[in-house]
Every structure is written in C-alpha cells, then in structure tokens.
Amino acid sequence: MAQVRVLILRAPGTNCDQETAFAFGQAGADTEIIHINRLLSEPTLADQYQILCLPGGFSYGDDIAAGRIVAGQIRHHLTEELQRFREDGKLILGICNGFQILLKSGILLPDEAGKSAPATLAWNESGYYQDRWVHVGTDSGSESKCVFLRGIERMYLPIAHAEGRFVTRDAGTFAALSTGGQLALRYTTANGATSNDALPFPDNPNGSQANVAGVCDSSGRVFGLMPHPERHIHPTQHPQWTRLPQREVGDGFKMFQNAVQYFR
C-alpha cells in the first residue's frame, strides 16, 4: 500500500515544523516540509499529498496579528487550491499558529457573503502570552465527527500562545457550530468537566468562548486547535512522567495516527 504523504507548510517564523513532521513520521507517514513561497509558485504541488498541516510558531513574527500574513497569502493565491484539496477528501490540520491561519484565511470556516468572519482567535483575556499544560476533552467524546479526534476523549497537552481566545461573530454562529458538532475540542478541568460557561483561569487559559480549544469544518476533515499535540507524542514529554504509570505513547500521538490511518 502506498505510503500516506504529508505536506508540512512553513513560513518565516514557523518553529514547530520539525516536531510536527516527526510526529506524522512516527505515525507512519512520509512527510515533507515545504516553504510557503514554493507552494505559491507551484500551487498544484499540493496534489501530491493526502494531508496538509500548518504547524505552530510565529509566522512572519505575528506582525499585524497572529497568522494574518500567511492567511492573506492563502486568501489571495491559494484558496482555490486548498478548497479543491478539501473537496478531494483530504485532511487539513492547523496547530496553534496554523489554527489562526486556517480561521483567518477562511479555509476552516468559510466566510458568508456580506458578513464578517464567522469566528476568530483574539488576544488572551489575561493580555499575556500563556505557556502551560492544559486538560482538553472532545466535545462528543470518542464519537467526535472530527477525523483527527476519533477514539479520543481526553488529552493533556501544552499550549504556547498570546492570541488563542476563540470568539464567534454572534450567538447564532455559535449555536450553529455547536449543533453541527464543529466545536470539537474544549478546555476542561483536571477531572474532565467543561460547560458552555467559560471555566476560570488557568483551566481555560485564554478566556475562549465556551472553553473552545479546537474547531473542525462541517466535514470533520479540516481541524484547527490551539494546544500542541506534537509536543506530547512520547510519555517522557509529560511534565510528571517520572511519577506516572508507564505508557507507550503521549496523549497527542493518536491524533497523528488517526490522520494517517484515515487513508488506510
């Protein structure tokens, strides 16, 4: 069987591309890291891959706003290519800065004519960059519609961002996303509790509406999240690994396995 191929798209300032490529590689994929300028000059290059991932970091130094410049490049030059990529049944993942890019480019939640973007990622409610570990849970348990989250109920993952507060355009947009199962990942307490009311800091590290940590599109094949699953694929990456029972893999690893196994 042909090996699943993953395109890791980087830009100046991206700094999680190597870790993300390693995670997909450990899950059995053939990965390639490509600079966005190469894809801009040859958009059909994406046709050679089954999974596209926009990793974390600070693309273009987060000038203007986090992910805004890459999002603009995609909007003006790559929208048709990435829409076709999605329509062909392929997968797109955005982690942290990649999530910001997917939202602001309209690839994750397409814009509606005459309206502002359905949702965005604003500055953390604290006003500060947050670098800590958080508990997250899937909105529908192990039956999540999101391909990346299937079979996953809870994870313990690190975050590292200043603009991660998820906010929808209005109450109607939030209700539609919630009903459609698209608010796929939520921040929780240590015992897995969450709600539509924002949890206090630090359980909800950025003040996200309804504790949202990750969102998928209506197909479940495009997913963005603020936590970093690629930073917890091995149990020794857990901050308390020496005090925990031995495990084979870290919490984030199954996300990459799910993506690769989807094509097998």
- Any idea which residues carry the catalytic annotation? 96, 228, 230
Going from the C-alpha of 210 to that of each of 123, 186, 203, 244, the distances in angstroms are 16, 8, 12, 30
Amino acid at site 188? T
Contact 46, 82 (CB under 8 A): yes
Contact 185, 213 (CB under 8 A): yes
Q: Which long-range contacts (CB under 8 A, 24 or more apart) does 83-88 make?
A: 83/107, 85/46, 85/47, 85/52, 86/217, 86/219, 86/221, 86/222
CA 23/CA 111 separation, integer angstroms: 31
* End-to-end CA gap in the chain: 8
Cα angle 103-111-43, degrees, rounded to a multiple of 5: 65
Residue 202, preceding peptide bond in cis (omega within 30° of 0): yes
Contact 184, 215 (CB under 8 A): yes
